[in-house]
Structure 1
Amino acid sequence: MDQETAQILFSEGAVLVLLDVPPGTEFGIDYNAWNTGPNFKGVKMIPPGIHFVYYSARSGRGSDVAPRSGFFYNFKAKEVLVKKWDRLQEDITSGGVSQEEVERIQSNKKELDRYLGAYPYESYKKWVSMTNHITEPVMESLQPINKTICSVAQFVSERSDTKTRKEDAIKTTDKTTVSHDDDDPRLPKMDTIPGTQIRFSEIPKKKYPEGATPSEITKYSIDSSYVTVKIIQSKNLPSNHILGEVQFAFICFLIGQTYDAFEQWKLLVHMLCTSEEAMADYPALYNEFISMLHFQIKDIPEDFFIDIVSRNNFLTSTLQLFFSNLESSGISENVLQRGLKFRDNLTKRFKWDFTTELDEDAPVVVE
């Protein structure tokens, strides 16, 4: 970072103050993570905008690490955000910090400065390219109500006792044999704690409009445009909100380690790639979608890509359909050329050939 940028960030950048964080805790912001030391009290010089803060508690012996938790936050210029470590919950919270304490910290930033780590500005450009569609409305609409994103779903047991579970087991045994896929009635019933789930868009099961003709049913069973447009219009937000959700899901699974987010990312990418009609109707959206996919695929580690993303050939077969739709959808020349350039880039990097039609509808690997 040059001296001029450092001075600007020092005066205009935001500060995240974290009190009472135990030494050895895994802590990160955006693409940067560390193990905290005994004097750690937060991060300074944070560029204004949306960032992802995450952390994992360690056991007293330092070997076991708790599942990752985190939150998105839109930092304002010169803002000082104060949070505290809850030792009982092993979590970061705004509770337990009085207004008086916040004001004292804000008025003594210089004294606190030596206990704050500087935001690694060298990775900021990459972060912006991966989150440029995550606006504050997008963030607020998707974050869990409790504002915390957990890599492991949080469950609560329905109230029951040994007697009620035994009665349920007897009833089930009297009716039929329990299959392996059914819940065992002898165990407590578990539900996700309300307010802890990411509020992703629900993708409609019905892929065609009410009263559709047989030909429309056939068309929209292959072309996902009806579903894509319905989601776009239901949000009452700009059309590129859907791109913000794709980016939000990507960050949640890649950095937040949330598997449900990975599943949502796959669903949204496949939906957009198979929306042939929408490609012609929303050229600006698809222009940005191609750029977004370029940065995301570029960011996925090679071993992660091979082991997870390409499992069952999801991404390669989806992109095969996408490039085929691009060339037949009557889309603008600008978007078409960008898409073909993206295709060539993937072929060069991964040795995929998207030009050969296969019975399995998937690209082949060029030897």
Structure 2
Amino acid sequence: MTTHKPTPTILLPNLPPKTLVGIDLITFTSTANFHGIRDLPPGWHFLYTGATENLSIRSGAWFYIGDINTAGKGRNDTGLVPQSQTQRQNHLAPEIYIWKWSANSESLLSLNGESDSVRQEAMRYKANLGAVWQSGGLFRYRSRISRSMLVKPKSEAEKSEDRGDGQDIDQEPVWAQSAAQVEDEEETEENGRRDWSGLTDRISPALLSRVIGDPEVDVDGHPRWVLTSASTANRDADHIPGVDSPAEGTEGPETGEEQEREFGFLPIDLKRTWREGAVGRERTEAAQDRSWALGELIDRYSGDASGGNQVLGELQLTFLMVLTMMNYSCLQQWKRLLELILTSRRAILDRDEFMSEVLRLLALQLQRCDDVDGGLFEIDAYDGGAFLRKLLTKLRQSVDELVGNRQDSMVKIELDKLEEWLKIEYDWELHREAILRRGMLQLEDGEEVEMDMEENDEDEETGEYAPMIVDLGDGDLHA
């Protein structure tokens, strides 16, 4: 009889077939025989579901495999490191998460509470884990879709022959693959896990609790942070008086559990980026160079002026919630963070390590932005990727002016790498002198008209950016 050594696993009892399931960077549709995911590597994971692929609200939760005290420490491959000796001693049995499907809320609920019935239910699921594994009901964790997961589905007879050998459902057995295929898939998997680690290595339990709220704790003491695609911050919500305000006394036992919690984002006010009491030139310069606002945010919330892990972690979290949940509020906060950071000129010199880390992270995020249905920039129909191209063009100008030809600037090195990739992938040109900003356009009837880019208004101080003449009442006019 084949025996299987238990590995970190998440069980999903009662999950209906054809449910959209996502784990980290991949999505798939559940089958009748799908009961969970095994071989979860150490580090952060985000699992979410949706009743349909496009038209339903998605619900998901963050959870951690391994020693959660190591989370959010930065670029130390936290998603790839093994558990510490202390963690192995404290958890002789592998970590088993049990999230049951709730037909009422159409979401996964963890087994929580201290009642004997809940403990016994959890024990029954764990005791049946071996049988579920042998039946082929556990999906082996993948960080990316490999070629073996895209092969033609097998017949029922072929599936029944493979069940019990540890292979994934609908996947070619390893012995049927060539050595080149196996090596290619191993490299793809390693790169995928490295990407996921780079996208989550600044996320910490404290950050998730600040942004999402206090975690739920299951019967085994495992925390998880729950949110939905409809979760929002108050500043991004469209409030309609008398319509979206909950009525008192209407919250029942089930609606209370599904009550949306407001996101606790870092407070960013891009219209006020100067210190209290600043006037005149100081205020004008702080509006053009937001380094003071960035520094104040880092010092206030991270407690680490050289790292800014809270800022970097929120930049990671908001992006991934757009990538997986298409959450509108997270998209807006991701854009606010980028606008604050990339318009901080002095930080290029004063916070070289932090700024270079932002560019390194942004490059990795942009490489995965097509994972969003239709593309990340397409879901923001207002201006697509124009906002980011404009910010990076300004940053390029600032780096050239402040750093010049110095080769020891980490910001310049990372920006050069990002610019090269953007040129190949999107044909973006970040050097202002290479962009035609004003010229003559010939119409079909032969008439020529002068055209000017709207983005030119701010630089030329024209249009809405033109100086305003103010009468101060003393008979003098001031610009």
The answer to whether the superposition gives a TM-score over 0.5 is: yes
Q: Secondary structure at the match of 1:110?
A: helix
Structure 1 residue 313 corresponds to structure 2 residue 391: no
Q: Quick one: which of 226, 230, 236 aligns to 1:148?
A: 226
CA distance in structure 2 between the aligned counterparts of 1:84 and 1:194, rounded to whole angstroms: 19
Relative to structure 1, the CA distance from residue 196 to residue 346 in structure 2 (aligned partners, 3 Å threshold; closer, same or farther) is: same
Q: Quick one: which of 315, 325, 335 aligns to 1:256?
A: 325
What is the one-letter code of the residue matched to 1:345?
A: W
The TM-score normalised by the length of structure 2 is 0.61
Kindly state the Cα deviation for residue 12 of structure 1 after the two structures are TM-superposed. Answer: 8.0
Q: Which runs of 5+ in 2 are unaligned?
A: 67-82, 84-93, 144-188, 216-224, 248-257, 438-452, 458-479
C-alpha deviations, 1:43-89, integer Å up to 9, x for none?
A: 1001111011010125xxxx985211111111226311111111112
CA contact (8 A) 1:68 1:151 kept: yes
C-alpha deviations, 1:266-289, integer Å up to 9, x for none?
A: 110111100111222221111211
CA distance in structure 1 between the aligned counterparts of 2:36 and 2:100, rounded to whole angstroms: 10
Kindly state the Cα deviation for residue 140 of structure 1 after the two structures are TM-superposed. Answer: 3.0
Structure 1 residue 190 corresponds to structure 2 residue 255: no
Q: Quick one: which of 106, 110, 118 aligns to 2:126?
A: 106
CA contact (8 A) 1:145 1:195 kept: no
Worse-matched range after superposition: 338-347 or 28-37:
338-347
Give the length in aligned residue pairs: 322
More helix by share: 1
Moved over 4 A (4+): 10-13, 191-195
CA distance in structure 2 between the aligned counterparts of 1:106 and 1:237, rounded to whole angstroms: 41
Who is 2:40 aligned against? 46
C-alpha deviations, 1:1-40, integer Å up to 9, x for none?
A: xxxxxxxxx8684211111111221111011212112222
Kindly state the Cα deviation for residue 194 of structure 1 after the two structures are TM-superposed. Answer: 6.0
CA contact (8 A) 1:148 1:196 kept: no
CA distance in structure 2 between the aligned counterparts of 1:352 and 1:135, rounded to whole angstroms: 34
What is the one-letter code of the residue matched to 1:136?
A: P
Structure 1 residue 17 corresponds to structure 2 residue 17: no
CA distance in structure 2 between the aligned counterparts of 1:281 and 1:196, rounded to whole angstroms: 37
Relative to structure 1, the CA distance from residue 53 to residue 351 in structure 2 (aligned partners, 3 Å threshold; closer, same or farther) is: same
CA contact (8 A) 1:28 1:53 kept: yes
Who is 1:222 aligned against? 288
CA distance in structure 1 between the aligned counterparts of 2:6 and 2:313, rounded to whole angstroms: 26
What is the one-letter code of the residue matched to 2:99?
A: K
Kindly state the Cα deviation for residue 145 of structure 1 after the two structures are TM-superposed. Answer: 4.2
CA distance in structure 1 between the aligned counterparts of 2:281 and 2:328, rounded to whole angstroms: 37
Q: Secondary structure at the match of 1:23?
A: coil
Relative to structure 1, the CA distance from residue 32 to residue 83 in structure 2 (aligned partners, 3 Å threshold; closer, same or farther) is: same
Who is 2:62 aligned against? 72
Who is 1:118 aligned against? 140
Relative to structure 1, the CA distance from residue 266 to residue 81 in structure 2 (aligned partners, 3 Å threshold; closer, same or farther) is: same
CA distance in structure 2 between the aligned counterparts of 1:48 and 1:194, rounded to whole angstroms: 31
Relative to structure 1, the CA distance from residue 328 to residue 135 in structure 2 (aligned partners, 3 Å threshold; closer, same or farther) is: farther
What is the one-letter code of the residue matched to 2:12?
A: L
The percentage of counterpart residues that share the same residue type is 24
Q: Quick one: which of 265, 268, 272 aligns to 1:200?
A: 265
The TM-score normalised by the length of structure 1 is 0.78
CA contact (8 A) 2:17 2:31 kept: yes
Q: Which runs of 5+ in 1 are unaligned?
A: 1-9, 156-180, 363-367
Relative to structure 1, the CA distance from residue 203 to residue 191 in structure 2 (aligned partners, 3 Å threshold; closer, same or farther) is: farther
CA RMSD after TM alignment = 3.0
Who is 2:28 aligned against? 34
CA contact (8 A) 1:50 1:136 kept: no
Who is 2:276 aligned against? 210
CA distance in structure 1 between the aligned counterparts of 2:39 and 2:310, rounded to whole angstroms: 28
